Amino acid sequence: MSIEKFREEINKGYTFKGDSLMIGAAILNGEPVADAQIKIPLKSLNRHGLIAGATGTGKTKSLQVFAEQLSEKGIPTLLMDLKGDLSGLAKEGSNNKHIEWRHGAIGISYEPKPMPVELMSISEEKGVKLKATISEFGPVLISKILDLNTTQSGILSIIFKYSDDNKLPLVDIKDLKKLLQFAKSEGKEEFKAEYGTMSSASMGTILRKLVELEQQGANLFFGERSFEVEDLLKKTHDGKGLINIIRLTDIQDRPKLFSTFMLSLLAEVYHEFPEQGDADKPKLCIFIDEAHLVFDNASKPLLEQIESIVKLIRSKGVGIFFVTQNPTDVPDAVLSQLGLKIQHALRAFTAKDRKAIKKTSENYPISDFYKTDEVLTSLGIGEALVTCLNEKGVPTPLAATLMRAPKTRMDILTVSEIKEVVKKSNLTAKYNEDIDSDSAYEMLNKKIAKIKEKQKKTEAKAPTKRKSSKKETSFIESVSKNTMVRQLGRTIMRELTRGLLGKFGR
């Protein structure tokens, strides 16, 4: 087919009544086609999306382009930065001959500029500290995160019920651990009278799984002050949407913490944001880089919860975009919900790779201009296959696209630049103060102290027993010695366990 016919089809498919993002120009036979620009309607961005491709093909730069343009359209974004290469959004980019050629071929000028950025963290990284309390998660979500069975989930629900009934705030992990330990020991009879017998072994399992989560750094995430998701919707005085970057470079090897945080954030956004329906543009766009870390290490209940939220959250005016190397990293149930696909090059080194590429090509609209599986392996850096939903929800024609370059720096910020961005933030004063108010841990310690004091008084008032005979004394001494040996053994084992798993409580 002729270039004129191709240009006509592209312009018909990518021309919209409402506002849109312009991300590049269509390519035919390896060359960009003038006046065939590829646009994404703002109205369809709450239908979610995928940015995929092999390492080094330009996924991160495409993410940058999206975040920049959304900001300029007044739409805030939230970016998960696991590799640490998105902070450059805070500084303007630099021009060169290749960028001038690229933008000339697309038909636009290149104007480098910085974007309004808020740096955030759930770990030791610099930025606004994002936290949540155990109570806000609730027993259902905690059970899914810990991958508990039905019996263990039931026990956890009772623990939460007890904390509510007795006004014991569950703020951080040490609160929940202390309450479980109390239910196993000093409070055992109280729990039995109120809620029935609970398996000590099951409570021990829950405690061990909490310790595992704690070792991944969750103690930095659970606590006060809880982050308010409305703060993600901030704009600058001139109407630009704020780009919120969560710096996660130091938790790549702690996938459970990452998936825990992601699920809690999505659940909180869904719970707090009002219904919006089909608006002219989204309220917030969330980009999850290295998305395979969310799905690879998630339990089945956790995956089901993520799939459910992805299906429902678009009614709140929120778009979720997964950034990963291969589309197969994302479960089919989630992929089927995605309206936008930006597929950078894939590499076919093995027969397995070729089969995966063939399967991937079948997920795109049939095109009269491309052999999709061949194009997928021949795309250059900064080129991608693109298809999205138009304003009526119909897929646009498949277009190999020369992507525009980011306006911001295509590199990371220096340490001093990061400190500068954090210093300018209005949210650090609100969220970076350490708060350790009286919660379940402190309250239960006081309650246990009273119980022990009462036991001492009761024992002191008890009548003196008659003197034992020599034979009886010998027997009692024998039993006592054996008991002391067993108790000493338990104490040694408990201390060894604590040494391996970390101390319980403070």
User: Can you tell me the distance from the alpha carbon of 459 to that of 8, in angstroms, rounded to the nearest whole number?
Assistant: 93
HEC secondary structure over 134-183: HHHHHHHHHHHHHCCCHHHHHHHHHHHHHHHHCCCCCCCHHHHHHHHHHH
Cβ burial, residue 493 (10 Å; 0-12/13-18/19+) = exposed
* Contacting residues for 108 by C-beta, under 8 A, at least 6 apart: 22, 404
Element (H, E) at 206: helix 200-213
The DSSP secondary-structure symbol of 235 reads B
In angstroms, what CA-CA distances link 469 with 466, 475, 477, 482?
9, 10, 12, 20
Phi-psi group of 30: left, alpha or beta (phi > 0 → left; psi -120 to 50 → alpha; rest → beta) = left
Nearest to 372 by CA among 389, 353, 385: 385
**Structure confidence at residue 201 (pLDDT):** 93
HEC secondary structure over 458-473: HHHHCCCCCCCCHHHH
With beta carbons less than 8 A apart as the criterion, state whether 121 and 246 touch: yes
In angstroms, what CA-CA distances link 158 with 30, 390, 405?
63, 49, 54
- End-to-end Cα spacing for the chain: 72
Cβ burial, residue 328 (10 Å; 0-12/13-18/19+) = middle
With beta carbons less than 8 A apart as the criterion, state whether 26 and 10 touch: yes
**Structure confidence at residue 485 (pLDDT):** 45
Rg (Cα) of the chain, in Å, rounded?
Answer: 29
Mean pLDDT by 10 residues, the chain (506 residues): 88 94 95 93 94 92 96 96 90 94 94 95 87 88 86 94 92 93 90 90 94 84 89 95 91 72 84 87 92 75 81 92 89 88 90 84 89 92 95 94 96 92 90 81 88 80 58 48 46 40 36
User: Can you tell me the distance from the alpha carbon of 500 to that of 506, in angstroms, rounded to the nearest whole number?
Assistant: 16
User: Can you tell me the distance from the alpha carbon of 270 to that of 264, in angstroms, rounded to the nearest whole number?
Assistant: 10
**Structure confidence at residue 334 (pLDDT):** 87
**Structure confidence at residue 477 (pLDDT):** 52
User: Can you tell me the distance from the alpha carbon of 55 to that of 204, in angstroms, rounded to the nearest whole number?
Assistant: 43
In 214-350, alpha helices (H): 219-221, 255-272, 292-296, 300-312, 332-335
The CATH homologous superfamily to which domain 3-130+227-431 belongs is P-loop containing nucleotide triphosphate hydrolases (3.40.50.300)
The DSSP secondary-structure symbol of 395 reads B
**Structure confidence at residue 296 (pLDDT):** 75
Distance of CA 378 to the CA centre of its chain: 33
In angstroms, what CA-CA distances link 434 with 74, 168, 215, 443?
33, 20, 20, 19
User: Can you tell me the distance from the alpha carbon of 237 to that of 179, in angstroms, rounded to the nearest whole number?
Assistant: 47
Distance of CA 329 to the CA centre of its chain: 16
Domain ranges of the chain: 3-130+227-431, 135-222+435-462
User: Can you tell me the distance from the alpha carbon of 470 to that of 474, in angstroms, rounded to the nearest whole number?
Assistant: 6
Q: What are the tokens at 326?
A: 């291969």
List own/partner pairs for 159-168 with CB under 8 A and 24 or more apart. 159/183, 160/135, 161/195, 162/191, 162/194, 162/195, 163/135, 163/440, 168/439, 168/440, 168/443, 168/444
**Structure confidence at residue 307 (pLDDT):** 85
With beta carbons less than 8 A apart as the criterion, state whether 401 and 388 touch: no
* Contacting residues for 136 by C-beta, under 8 A, at least 6 apart: 226, 264, 268
